[in-house]
Amino acid sequence: MAEHRFSSEPTYVIAPSILSADFGRLGDEIRAVEKAGADWIHVDVMDGHFVPNLTLGWPLIQSVRKVTELPFDVHLMIENADRYLEDFQKAGADVITVHVEACVHLHRTIHEIKRLGCRAGVSLNPATPIESVLPILPDVDLVLLMSVNPGFGGQKFIEASVARAERLRAEIERTGKPVRLEIDGGVGVGNIARLARAGVRAFVAGNAIFSTPDYAATIAALRAELAKV
């Protein structure tokens, strides 16, 4: 379906989180990070139930779909995700990630995302045991490891996430499947190289990119750190 938007499959994916963008100029902000060298656009959807914040829904994704050909990496921090999967797919989501803590029938949800033609991801919160995602690992395209408690941008990176990434990487390798490990929360130039060494292959960065005046310079600095790995 939207597989063409994954035309390039970089080893390391940098995915700016638009949660920290200026929503009044969202189209321009997305164009700016695309021009600055972003690989995917990370879109945080919050429902005020699963997480203590409200953000945006599929209509907004639909309206910014036309401004970029980059894949939309949609992170659903919502209850009842099943009810909205098709809406997000139709709006132009490429990756749809759901939380293990929020999905009662996770296997069904993951397979529904794939049936819709999207890549399917599972996410886990910082205090959720790695074991909780092991049964679904062979079925997903991506694991999104939360390195902050979801709900807000600009939070401090939780250090224990590095060891958790290492463990997840080992478990992913055991499946023999090409599952991409992505990390979300407090990622920046100070920790990206360590995370890559731990096996992370996609990096969400909100505050680290959007709080700086020159997005291209910031993304280049992140890539320079990755080049040291």
In the complex, minimum distance from the CB of residue 174 to ligand DX5, in angstroms, rounded to a whole number: 27
> Given 3-state DSSP classes, what are the helix, strand and coil percentages for the chain, each rounded to the nearest 5?
45, 20, 35
The stretch among 24-32, 85-93, 149-157, 161-169 that binds ligand DX5 (CB under 6 A) is: 149-157
208 binds ligand DX5 (CB under 6 A): yes
Phi then psi for residue 118, to 5 deg, are: -100, 160
**Span 60-79, contacts to Zn ion by CB under 5 A:** 75
Q: Which DSSP helix (H) or strand (E) runs through 4?
A: none
Q: From the list ligand DX5, Zn ion, none, which binds 225 (C-beta under 5 to 8 Å, kind-based)? A: none
The dihedral through the CA atoms of 45, 47, 52, 54 has a sign that is positive
Catalytic status, residue 39: no
44 binds Zn ion (CB under 5 A): yes
Helix (H, G, I), strand (E, B) or coil at 17: strand
In the complex, minimum distance from the CB of residue 73 to ligand DX5, in angstroms, rounded to a whole number: 9
Q: From the list Zn ion, ligand DX5, none, which binds 71 (C-beta under 5 to 8 Å, kind-based)? A: none
Q: CB-wise, 111 or 149, nearer to ligand DX5?
A: 149
154 binds ligand DX5 (CB under 6 A): yes
Residue among 44, 47, 73, 94 flagged as catalytic: 44
20 binds ligand DX5 (CB under 6 A): yes
In the complex, minimum distance from the CB of residue 117 to ligand DX5, in angstroms, rounded to a whole number: 24
| Interatomic CA distance for residues 101 and 129, integer angstroms | 10
Q: Residues 115-133, buried b or exposed e (16+ Cβ, 10 A)?
A: ebebbbbbbbbeebebeeb
Q: Which two three-digit tokens encode residue 66?
A: 């036309």
Catalytic status, residue 28: no
> Would you tell me which residues interact with ligand DX5 (CB under 6 A)?
17, 19-20, 42, 44, 75, 148, 150-155, 184-187, 204-208
